[in-house]
Amino acid sequence: MLGSASLQFSLHHVDASSSARSGLLKVPHGIVETPAFMPVGTQGTVKAVTPRELAESGTSIILANTYHLALRPGSDIVRDAGGLHRFMAWDGPILTDSGGFQVFSLATLNKIDDEGVSFRSHIDGSSMHLTPERSIEIQNDLSADIIMAFDQCPPATADRSIIAEAVARTARWAERSVAAHGRDDQALFGIVQGGLHEDLRFLSAGQITALGFPGYAIGGVSLGETPLEMRRVVRAVAPLLPFEKPRYVMGVGRPSDIVHMVGSGMDLFDCVMPTRHARNASLFTRSGLLKMRNFSLARDYRPVEPGCPCYTCRTFSRAYLRHLYSRNEMLAGILGTIHNLTFFQGLMSDLREAIRTDRYAEFGASYREGEPLEVD
């Protein structure tokens, strides 16, 4: 069971000069205009903001992490609370990842085989076992609108033999994820792996799309490769995914990468970048990244971004925010996160408008010219 009936995706316009597309994604908890960016709510919360502030930033859909919520508080507690929407008081759409990325990146890995992954928790070292069936069970408990098939996610720069084995295993685990999914109110997406190897990506895309998922993701990017390599992979894989279904690039959040990948025909993105950068005193503007502890801002009484509609920019100056960050005040991260989330959602809104008016190429060129290639 794939939950296809719970998701409706309609494309409204494709840009005349690119593959950029705008559309509407309808799921049980609401409607998402695409292309869309999903802030990451790792522990059932987007760090430093309330659900109301999250909605006010323009956010329509968020991502939550299966691995972390299974460890704490436990998916059964979330289930008994009425599901993640009710537990965290967010009534908009939610997508949950499969837990695969966190298992391979955070946990101490003991064993991986066709059955699943045995590992030790990064929190207390306790032994755990995650299989496709268990991943789907946890996501069923969480009751997200969109859930992900369990996959093996090696670094993009891993040896080809390791990536080839992960492609084969991801296909087998996708079939088991489909068989384990028992809810028709959750749409199950498949994930394409293959690292930087286009032939392996083509193989994986064929295997995963053959299963008829209601949506597809490109996984295994933004994991050590260069931006140009990552963009090349996405550009190659996007046309292999069904045109009429939503396409999601996992873990990509640098604004210039988002702009580029929208032009390749991708619809959904997620990343911790706006929230993590905000907590680390880095705020996004159209002119680049502001380092909020810089002495040059001590007497800068302008808002972070003139014209930005967020509460932070309407109310506070760069000088005040620098003061908060320099003193490690809790309010700094809150106000910075409000701004960064609003910036990202404003970028997506501008992209959607550029697509609708066949101005994507003009918008993309001007945006990339104004943004530093590297964000540190």
User: CA distances (Å), 260 to each of 39, 183, 351, in order?
Assistant: 19, 35, 11
Number of structural domains (the chain) is 2
**CATH value at residue 162:** 3.20.20.105
- Which of 284, 293, 279 is CA-nearest to residue 313? 284
- Of 91, 159, 270, 350, the catalytic one is 270
At 120 the pLDDT is 83
pLDDT above 80 for 109: no
Structure confidence at residue 156 (pLDDT): 86
The C-alpha angle with vertex 341 and arms to 4 and 311, in degrees rounded to 5, equals 130
228-234 average pLDDT score: 96
For range 273-295, the mean pLDDT:
95
Residue 141 scores a pLDDT above 90: yes
DSSP H helical ranges for 11-131: 51-56, 66-71, 75-80, 84-88, 100-105
The predicted-structure confidence for 142-170, as pLDDT tens digits, reads as follows 999 999 999 999 988 899 999 999 999 99
Q: Classify strands 216-218 and 117-120 as parallel, antiparallel or unpaired.
A: unpaired
pLDDT confidence tier of residue 107, bands split at 50, 70 and 90: low
Q: Is residue 352 part of a domain?
A: no
Q: Are residues 256 and 331 in the same domain?
A: no
**CA of residue 283 relative to chain centroid, distance:** 19
- Can you give the pTM of this predicted structure? 0.96
Say whether both 120 and 146 belong to one domain. Answer: yes
| Domain boundary residue, one of 256, 271, 286 | 271
Question: Are 324 and 210 part of one and the same domain?
Answer: no
Query: Could you confirm whether 270 is annotated as catalytic?
Result: yes
Can you give the pLDDT at residue 217?
98
Q: Which two structure tokens, joined as six digits, stand for 41?
A: 């709510």
The domain in which residue 197 lies consists of: 4-34+65-271
Considering the domain architecture, whether residues 287 and 261 belong to the same structural domain is answered as: no
Q: Which pLDDT score, from 0 to 100, does residue 372 have?
A: 44
The C-alpha atoms of residue 314 and residue 304 are separated, in whole angstroms, by 9
- Assigned token pair, 85: 């929407």
Summarize pLDDT for 87-105 with one digit per residue, the tens: 999 999 999 999 888 877 7
CA-nearest of 151, 129, 130, 148 to 139 is 148
Query: Over pLDDT 90: what percentage of the chain?
Result: 86
pLDDT mean over 117-137: 88
Give me the mean pLDDT over the 196-203 stretch.
98
| % the chain with pLDDT above 70 | 97
The pLDDT of residue 366: 82
Exposed, middle or buried, 238 (CB in 10 Å: 0-12/13-18/19+)? buried
Co-location of 114 and 238 in the same domain: yes
Provide the token pair at 121.
């928790």
Euclidean distance between CA atoms 277 and 356, whole angstroms: 30
252 and 284 housed in the same domain: no
pLDDT at 371 over 80: no
Average pLDDT for 19-47: 98
Q: Do 301 and 332 sit in the same domain of this protein?
A: yes
Please check whether residues 161 and 291 belong to one and the same domain: no
Distance of CA 268 to the CA centre of its chain: 7
Return the pLDDT at 373: 35
pLDDT score for 103: 78
Instruction: Grade residue 375 by pLDDT with cuts at 50, 70 and 90.
Output: very low
Sheet of 108-112, strands arranged across: 108-112, 117-120, 127-130
- Mean pLDDT throughout 55-76? 96
Average pLDDT value for the chain: 94
Nearest to 104 by CA among 63, 147, 142, 158: 158
pLDDT at 101: 83
Q: What is the pLDDT of residue 80?
A: 98
- Of the residues 15, 97, 145, 257, only one is catalytic, namely 97
* Whether residue 310 sits in one domain with residue 230: no
The answer to whether residues 258 and 330 belong to one domain is no
Give 370's pLDDT tier (boundaries 50, 70, 90).
Answer: low
* pLDDT reading at 121 higher than 90: no
Q: Does the active-site annotation cover 97?
A: yes
191 and 227 fall within a common domain: yes
Average pLDDT over residues 267-296: 96
